[in-house]
Structure 1
Protein backbone atom coordinates (compact mmCIF):
# COMPACT_ATOMS: atom_id res chain seq x y z
CA UNK A 1 0.00 0.00 0.00
CA UNK A 2 1.10 3.55 -0.63
CA UNK A 3 -0.44 6.97 -0.19
CA UNK A 4 -0.84 9.34 -3.08
CA UNK A 5 -0.64 13.04 -2.28
CA UNK A 6 -2.54 15.40 -4.53
CA UNK A 7 -1.70 19.09 -4.40
CA UNK A 8 -3.16 22.04 -6.22
CA UNK A 9 -2.09 25.62 -6.62
CA UNK A 10 -4.56 28.46 -7.02
CA UNK A 11 -3.85 32.18 -7.29
CA UNK A 12 -6.01 34.61 -5.33
CA UNK A 13 -6.50 38.22 -6.42
CA UNK A 14 -7.94 40.58 -3.81
CA UNK A 15 -10.28 42.27 -6.31
CA UNK A 16 -11.12 42.29 -10.01
CA UNK A 17 -8.91 45.41 -10.26
CA UNK A 18 -5.80 43.25 -9.68
CA UNK A 19 -6.52 41.15 -12.78
CA UNK A 20 -4.74 41.80 -16.08
CA UNK A 21 -6.86 44.16 -18.20
CA UNK A 22 -8.04 41.46 -20.64
CA UNK A 23 -9.08 39.18 -17.78
CA UNK A 24 -10.82 42.00 -15.91
CA UNK A 25 -12.83 42.73 -19.08
CA UNK A 26 -13.77 39.06 -19.43
CA UNK A 27 -14.80 38.91 -15.76
CA UNK A 28 -16.92 42.02 -16.24
CA UNK A 29 -18.76 40.20 -19.05
CA UNK A 30 -19.40 37.31 -16.63
CA UNK A 31 -20.74 39.75 -14.04
CA UNK A 32 -22.97 41.50 -16.60
CA UNK A 33 -24.45 38.25 -17.94
CA UNK A 34 -24.94 36.93 -14.37
CA UNK A 35 -27.41 39.74 -13.78
CA UNK A 36 -29.53 38.44 -16.70
CA UNK A 37 -29.75 34.85 -15.41
CA UNK A 38 -33.14 33.18 -15.21
CA UNK A 39 -33.22 31.86 -11.65
CA UNK A 40 -36.73 32.42 -10.22
CA UNK A 41 -36.56 29.37 -7.93
CA UNK A 42 -33.11 29.45 -6.36
CA UNK A 43 -32.49 33.18 -6.83
CA UNK A 44 -28.84 32.18 -7.27
CA UNK A 45 -27.37 33.89 -10.32
CA UNK A 46 -24.34 32.65 -12.23
CA UNK A 47 -22.59 34.17 -15.23
CA UNK A 48 -19.85 32.70 -17.41
CA UNK A 49 -17.70 34.30 -20.10
CA UNK A 50 -15.38 32.28 -22.32
CA UNK A 51 -12.54 33.54 -24.47
CA UNK A 52 -11.95 31.32 -27.50
CA UNK A 53 -8.68 31.05 -29.40
CA UNK A 54 -10.37 32.70 -32.39
CA UNK A 55 -10.91 35.85 -30.32
CA UNK A 56 -14.66 35.30 -29.84
CA UNK A 57 -16.19 35.81 -26.39
CA UNK A 58 -19.11 33.57 -25.49
CA UNK A 59 -21.30 34.25 -22.48
CA UNK A 60 -23.88 32.17 -20.67
CA UNK A 61 -25.92 32.25 -17.49
CA UNK A 62 -27.90 29.74 -15.50
CA UNK A 63 -31.38 28.92 -16.78
CA UNK A 64 -33.74 27.32 -14.27
CA UNK A 65 -36.91 25.36 -14.78
CA UNK A 66 -39.75 24.39 -12.43
CA UNK A 67 -38.54 20.85 -13.02
CA UNK A 68 -35.17 21.49 -11.35
CA UNK A 69 -33.09 18.90 -13.20
CA UNK A 70 -34.15 20.47 -16.50
CA UNK A 71 -32.24 23.69 -15.86
CA UNK A 72 -28.71 24.34 -17.00
CA UNK A 73 -25.73 26.00 -15.33
CA UNK A 74 -24.03 29.07 -16.79
CA UNK A 75 -20.77 27.27 -17.49
CA UNK A 76 -22.40 24.53 -19.53
CA UNK A 77 -24.69 26.99 -21.31
CA UNK A 78 -21.60 28.88 -22.54
CA UNK A 79 -19.45 25.81 -23.22
CA UNK A 80 -22.10 23.98 -25.22
CA UNK A 81 -22.89 27.09 -27.26
CA UNK A 82 -19.19 27.52 -28.02
CA UNK A 83 -18.95 23.85 -28.97
CA UNK A 84 -21.94 24.03 -31.29
CA UNK A 85 -21.09 27.33 -32.98
CA UNK A 86 -17.28 27.10 -33.03
CA UNK A 87 -16.48 23.36 -32.93
CA UNK A 88 -12.83 23.81 -33.88
CA UNK A 89 -12.11 26.69 -31.51
CA UNK A 90 -10.40 26.12 -28.18
CA UNK A 91 -11.53 27.65 -24.92
CA UNK A 92 -8.56 29.64 -23.64
CA UNK A 93 -10.00 31.42 -20.59
CA UNK A 94 -13.15 31.23 -18.53
CA UNK A 95 -14.50 33.83 -16.09
CA UNK A 96 -17.26 33.01 -13.59
CA UNK A 97 -19.26 35.17 -11.22
CA UNK A 98 -21.92 33.74 -8.91
CA UNK A 99 -24.04 34.57 -5.91
CA UNK A 100 -27.48 35.02 -4.40
CA UNK A 101 -29.71 37.62 -6.04
CA UNK A 102 -30.90 39.29 -2.83
CA UNK A 103 -27.48 39.74 -1.28
CA UNK A 104 -23.96 39.64 -2.61
CA UNK A 105 -21.13 37.43 -1.52
CA UNK A 106 -17.41 38.07 -1.49
CA UNK A 107 -16.67 34.34 -1.29
CA UNK A 108 -15.30 33.02 -4.61
CA UNK A 109 -17.65 30.33 -5.95
CA UNK A 110 -16.13 27.59 -8.14
CA UNK A 111 -17.97 25.54 -10.77
CA UNK A 112 -20.28 22.78 -9.51
CA UNK A 113 -19.37 19.14 -10.03
CA UNK A 114 -21.38 18.69 -13.23
CA UNK A 115 -19.77 21.78 -14.74
CA UNK A 116 -16.31 20.62 -13.68
CA UNK A 117 -16.93 17.41 -15.61
CA UNK A 118 -18.09 19.35 -18.70
CA UNK A 119 -15.07 21.66 -18.52
CA UNK A 120 -12.83 18.63 -18.14
CA UNK A 121 -14.29 17.11 -21.31
CA UNK A 122 -13.32 20.21 -23.27
CA UNK A 123 -9.82 20.38 -21.79
CA UNK A 124 -9.24 16.77 -22.84
CA UNK A 125 -10.84 17.33 -26.27
CA UNK A 126 -8.77 20.41 -27.07
CA UNK A 127 -5.58 19.13 -25.43
CA UNK A 128 -5.13 22.54 -23.83
CA UNK A 129 -5.82 23.63 -20.26
CA UNK A 130 -8.49 26.25 -19.66
CA UNK A 131 -7.46 29.18 -17.49
CA UNK A 132 -10.39 29.52 -15.04
CA UNK A 133 -11.12 32.58 -12.89
CA UNK A 134 -14.03 32.58 -10.43
CA UNK A 135 -15.50 34.95 -7.90
CA UNK A 136 -18.65 35.66 -5.93
CA UNK A 137 -20.50 38.87 -6.70
CA UNK A 138 -17.67 41.04 -5.32
CA UNK A 139 -14.29 40.63 -3.71
CA UNK A 140 -11.60 38.06 -4.27
CA UNK A 141 -11.03 36.31 -7.59
CA UNK A 142 -9.45 32.84 -7.68
CA UNK A 143 -7.47 31.58 -10.66
CA UNK A 144 -6.89 27.95 -11.58
CA UNK A 145 -4.55 27.38 -14.53
CA UNK A 146 -6.47 24.22 -15.42
CA UNK A 147 -9.65 22.40 -14.50
CA UNK A 148 -7.40 19.57 -13.34
CA UNK A 149 -6.61 21.69 -10.26
CA UNK A 150 -10.31 21.69 -9.36
CA UNK A 151 -11.03 18.09 -10.36
CA UNK A 152 -8.02 15.86 -9.81
CA UNK A 153 -8.41 12.25 -10.89
CA UNK A 154 -11.08 13.26 -13.39
CA UNK A 155 -13.08 10.81 -15.48
CA UNK A 156 -12.41 11.06 -19.21
CA UNK A 157 -12.62 9.06 -22.44
CA UNK A 158 -9.46 7.12 -21.60
CA UNK A 159 -11.58 5.02 -19.20
CA UNK A 160 -14.13 4.02 -21.85
Structure 2
Protein backbone atom coordinates (compact mmCIF):
# COMPACT_ATOMS: atom_id res chain seq x y z
CA UNK A 1 0.00 0.00 0.00
CA UNK A 2 1.14 3.51 -0.80
CA UNK A 3 0.04 6.65 0.99
CA UNK A 4 -1.00 9.72 -0.98
CA UNK A 5 -1.07 13.02 0.86
CA UNK A 6 -3.26 15.80 -0.55
CA UNK A 7 -2.73 19.37 0.58
CA UNK A 8 -4.55 22.57 -0.24
CA UNK A 9 -3.65 26.14 0.52
CA UNK A 10 -6.44 28.57 1.33
CA UNK A 11 -6.19 32.18 2.47
CA UNK A 12 -8.35 33.75 5.19
CA UNK A 13 -9.33 37.41 5.20
CA UNK A 14 -10.72 38.54 8.55
CA UNK A 15 -13.47 40.61 6.92
CA UNK A 16 -14.59 42.22 3.67
CA UNK A 17 -12.44 45.30 4.24
CA UNK A 18 -9.25 43.20 3.99
CA UNK A 19 -10.09 42.13 0.43
CA UNK A 20 -8.43 43.77 -2.57
CA UNK A 21 -10.76 46.48 -3.91
CA UNK A 22 -11.82 44.58 -7.05
CA UNK A 23 -12.67 41.49 -5.00
CA UNK A 24 -14.48 43.63 -2.43
CA UNK A 25 -16.70 45.00 -5.24
CA UNK A 26 -17.33 41.49 -6.57
CA UNK A 27 -18.27 40.20 -3.11
CA UNK A 28 -20.64 43.13 -2.59
CA UNK A 29 -22.42 42.07 -5.81
CA UNK A 30 -22.63 38.50 -4.50
CA UNK A 31 -24.17 39.82 -1.26
CA UNK A 32 -26.68 41.99 -3.15
CA UNK A 33 -27.83 39.13 -5.37
CA UNK A 34 -27.87 36.73 -2.38
CA UNK A 35 -30.62 38.81 -0.84
CA UNK A 36 -32.75 38.32 -3.98
CA UNK A 37 -32.55 34.52 -3.93
CA UNK A 38 -35.73 32.45 -4.13
CA UNK A 39 -35.37 30.09 -1.16
CA UNK A 40 -38.80 29.63 0.46
CA UNK A 41 -38.08 26.05 1.57
CA UNK A 42 -34.58 26.15 3.01
CA UNK A 43 -34.51 29.84 3.99
CA UNK A 44 -30.85 29.64 2.96
CA UNK A 45 -29.85 32.30 0.43
CA UNK A 46 -26.75 32.10 -1.72
CA UNK A 47 -25.36 34.68 -4.13
CA UNK A 48 -22.50 34.36 -6.60
CA UNK A 49 -20.75 36.99 -8.70
CA UNK A 50 -18.16 36.16 -11.36
CA UNK A 51 -15.69 38.39 -13.16
CA UNK A 52 -15.00 37.40 -16.76
CA UNK A 53 -11.82 38.25 -18.65
CA UNK A 54 -13.82 40.64 -20.86
CA UNK A 55 -14.71 42.75 -17.80
CA UNK A 56 -18.32 41.56 -17.58
CA UNK A 57 -19.65 40.59 -14.14
CA UNK A 58 -22.24 37.81 -14.02
CA UNK A 59 -24.38 37.19 -10.94
CA UNK A 60 -26.63 34.36 -9.87
CA UNK A 61 -28.55 33.22 -6.82
CA UNK A 62 -30.15 29.99 -5.71
CA UNK A 63 -33.59 29.19 -7.10
CA UNK A 64 -35.56 26.59 -5.16
CA UNK A 65 -38.50 24.51 -6.25
CA UNK A 66 -41.04 22.40 -4.35
CA UNK A 67 -39.66 19.50 -6.38
CA UNK A 68 -36.24 19.83 -4.72
CA UNK A 69 -34.02 18.41 -7.48
CA UNK A 70 -35.48 20.98 -9.88
CA UNK A 71 -33.86 23.94 -8.14
CA UNK A 72 -30.44 25.35 -8.94
CA UNK A 73 -27.59 26.72 -6.84
CA UNK A 74 -26.27 30.26 -7.21
CA UNK A 75 -22.87 29.20 -8.52
CA UNK A 76 -24.32 27.03 -11.29
CA UNK A 77 -26.94 29.66 -12.16
CA UNK A 78 -24.11 32.16 -12.76
CA UNK A 79 -21.62 29.83 -14.41
CA UNK A 80 -24.13 28.36 -16.86
CA UNK A 81 -25.36 31.83 -17.80
CA UNK A 82 -21.77 32.91 -18.43
CA UNK A 83 -21.19 29.79 -20.52
CA UNK A 84 -24.29 30.40 -22.63
CA UNK A 85 -23.87 34.15 -23.13
CA UNK A 86 -20.07 34.46 -23.20
CA UNK A 87 -18.84 31.03 -24.33
CA UNK A 88 -15.32 32.22 -25.17
CA UNK A 89 -14.76 34.32 -22.06
CA UNK A 90 -12.68 33.01 -19.18
CA UNK A 91 -13.91 33.23 -15.60
CA UNK A 92 -11.23 35.02 -13.58
CA UNK A 93 -12.79 35.27 -10.11
CA UNK A 94 -15.90 34.07 -8.32
CA UNK A 95 -17.28 35.51 -5.07
CA UNK A 96 -19.89 33.62 -3.03
CA UNK A 97 -21.90 34.72 -0.01
CA UNK A 98 -24.34 32.40 1.73
CA UNK A 99 -26.52 32.67 4.79
CA UNK A 100 -29.55 31.45 6.63
CA UNK A 101 -32.59 33.64 7.18
CA UNK A 102 -33.09 31.82 10.50
CA UNK A 103 -29.73 32.42 12.18
CA UNK A 104 -26.53 34.42 11.84
CA UNK A 105 -24.18 32.73 9.39
CA UNK A 106 -20.59 33.65 10.18
CA UNK A 107 -18.82 30.51 8.94
CA UNK A 108 -17.57 30.75 5.34
CA UNK A 109 -19.74 28.52 3.12
CA UNK A 110 -17.92 26.88 0.19
CA UNK A 111 -19.67 25.67 -2.98
CA UNK A 112 -21.57 22.38 -2.66
CA UNK A 113 -20.28 19.26 -4.41
CA UNK A 114 -22.41 19.69 -7.53
CA UNK A 115 -21.22 23.29 -7.91
CA UNK A 116 -17.62 22.26 -7.38
CA UNK A 117 -17.99 19.79 -10.24
CA UNK A 118 -19.50 22.49 -12.49
CA UNK A 119 -16.73 24.95 -11.64
CA UNK A 120 -13.95 22.42 -12.26
CA UNK A 121 -15.48 21.73 -15.69
CA UNK A 122 -15.03 25.40 -16.57
CA UNK A 123 -11.47 25.48 -15.22
CA UNK A 124 -10.69 22.57 -17.53
CA UNK A 125 -12.57 24.16 -20.45
CA UNK A 126 -10.68 27.44 -20.15
CA UNK A 127 -7.39 25.81 -19.16
CA UNK A 128 -7.01 28.33 -16.36
CA UNK A 129 -7.85 28.40 -12.64
CA UNK A 130 -10.71 30.40 -11.18
CA UNK A 131 -10.03 32.31 -7.96
CA UNK A 132 -12.85 31.57 -5.54
CA UNK A 133 -13.74 33.73 -2.54
CA UNK A 134 -16.46 32.55 -0.17
CA UNK A 135 -18.06 33.71 3.06
CA UNK A 136 -21.17 33.44 5.19
CA UNK A 137 -23.34 36.52 5.68
CA UNK A 138 -20.58 38.19 7.70
CA UNK A 139 -17.12 37.41 8.99
CA UNK A 140 -14.13 35.73 7.41
CA UNK A 141 -13.68 35.39 3.68
CA UNK A 142 -11.73 32.41 2.37
CA UNK A 143 -9.82 32.50 -0.90
CA UNK A 144 -8.84 29.52 -3.02
CA UNK A 145 -6.60 30.07 -6.04
CA UNK A 146 -8.37 27.26 -7.89
CA UNK A 147 -11.30 24.92 -7.50
CA UNK A 148 -8.70 22.12 -7.42
CA UNK A 149 -8.01 23.12 -3.78
CA UNK A 150 -11.65 22.42 -2.91
CA UNK A 151 -12.08 19.33 -5.08
CA UNK A 152 -8.87 17.33 -5.22
CA UNK A 153 -9.03 14.22 -7.38
CA UNK A 154 -11.79 15.79 -9.43
CA UNK A 155 -13.79 13.89 -12.05
CA UNK A 156 -13.10 15.09 -15.58
CA UNK A 157 -13.25 14.08 -19.24
CA UNK A 158 -9.94 12.22 -19.05
CA UNK A 159 -11.71 9.27 -17.41
CA UNK A 160 -14.46 8.99 -20.01
TM-score range, shorter chain: over 0.9
Find the counterpart in structure 2 of residue 24 from structure 1: 24
In the superposition, the TM-score normalised over structure 1's length comes to 0.99
Find the counterpart in structure 1 of residue 90 from structure 2: 90
Find the counterpart in structure 2 of residue 51 from structure 1: 51
Report deviation, 1:103.
Answer: 2.6
Aligned 1:60-139 pairs, distance under 5 A = 60-139=60-139
C-alpha RMSD over aligned residues:
0.5
Cα distance in 2 for residues equivalent to 1:112 and 1:126? 21
Q: Secondary structure at the match of 1:108?
A: coil
Find the counterpart in structure 1 of residue 154 from structure 2: 154
In the superposition, the TM-score normalised over structure 2's length comes to 0.99
Cα distance in 2 for residues equivalent to 1:36 and 1:3? 46
Structure 2: 5+ residue stretches without partners: none
Structure 1: 5+ residue stretches without partners: none
- Deviation digits for residues 80-112 of structure 1 (CA, Å, limit 9, x no counterpart): 000000000000000000010133211000000
Find the counterpart in structure 1 of residue 143 from structure 2: 143
Structure 1 segments of 4 or more deviating over 2 A? none
